[in-house]
């Protein structure tokens, strides 16, 4: 009886370590994902959403799923891999053709839809860093807020580009102020380390 309880306690201990080690808190730095996140927000990331990893590390044991279009992921961007993680949204899956015109996304020649909202109604102290337009981006599984301008500039138009095997095309939700796949290239599958779950602190 004692041995059975002892083993049960050990199992619960390791289960707790796994849970704490794979559901991690991160602080958002920068405003490249406005209006979804703003600088200072604290978010929970499921580090085992796509890969079983050793707790409190980035060492992967085995894959248990694949990222999907629209997921907000924790990743390394290859050309900026200085040890910092990045939060970016998956736009293109392997095999997709991605084109951007005036910050509006086309996937496999299908245009995403944009329902404009009044940005003054947003309860966010970072309104001055939003683009001219705030809208819900929908289509092909998307349903999230983005901000952008419709005027043309150095980053408003991109592609087309075909997403290579085992890679993903990512963007920030603040389309006019984000370092992402337009500048830093596709994200290899092995450089994805988790999925955004929810925000525990909003820096309004």
Strand partners, 114: 137
- Residue 93: what pLDDT? 97
Could you tell me the pTM of the whole model?
Answer: 0.85
Query: Residue 65 CA to chain centroid, in angstroms?
Result: 16
Take residue 32 and report the two structure tokens written for it: 């490249």
- Residue with the bigger pLDDT between 52 and 94: it is 94
Q: Which single residue is written with the structure tokens 């201990």?
A: 13
Mean pLDDT for the stretch of residues 84-110: 94
pLDDT, tens digit (0-9, with 9 covering 90-100), for 137-172: 999 989 999 999 888 877 889 989 999 999 999 999
The CATH number that domain 2-201 falls under is: 2.10.109.10
Nearest to 198, CA basis, from 15, 28, 67: 28
- Residue 79: what pLDDT? 59
Mean pLDDT for the stretch of residues 194-199: 93
Both ends of the chain: CA-CA distance in Å?
53
Residue 3 CB contacts under 8 Å (≥ 6 apart), including other chains: none
State yes or no: pLDDT of 112 exceeds 70: yes
């Amino acid at each position: 009886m004692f041995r059975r309880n002892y083993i049960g306690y050990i199992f619960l201990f390791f289960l707790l370590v796994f849970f704490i080690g794979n559901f991690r808190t991160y602080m958002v730095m920068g405003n490249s994902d406005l209006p979804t996140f703003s600088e200072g927000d604290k978010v929970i990331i499921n580090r085992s959403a796509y890969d079983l990893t050793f707790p409190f590390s980035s060492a992967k044991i085995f894959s248990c799923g694949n990222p999907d279009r629209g997921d907000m992921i924790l990743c390394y961007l290859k050309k900026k891999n200085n040890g910092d993680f990045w939060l970016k949204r998956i736009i293109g899956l392997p095999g997709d053709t991605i084109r951007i015109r005036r910050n509006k996304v086309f996937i496999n020649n299908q245009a995403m839809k944009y329902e404009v909202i009044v940005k003054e109604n947003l309860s966010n102290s970072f309104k001055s860093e939003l683009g001219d337009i705030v809208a819900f981006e929908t289509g092909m599984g998307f349903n999230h807020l983005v901000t952008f301008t419709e005027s043309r500039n150095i980053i408003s138009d991109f592609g087309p580009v075909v997403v290579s095997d085992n890679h993903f095309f990512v963007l920030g939700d603040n389309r006019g102020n984000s370092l992402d796949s337009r500048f830093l290239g596709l994200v290899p599958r092995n450089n994805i380390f988790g999925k955004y779950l929810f925000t525990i602190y909003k820096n309004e």
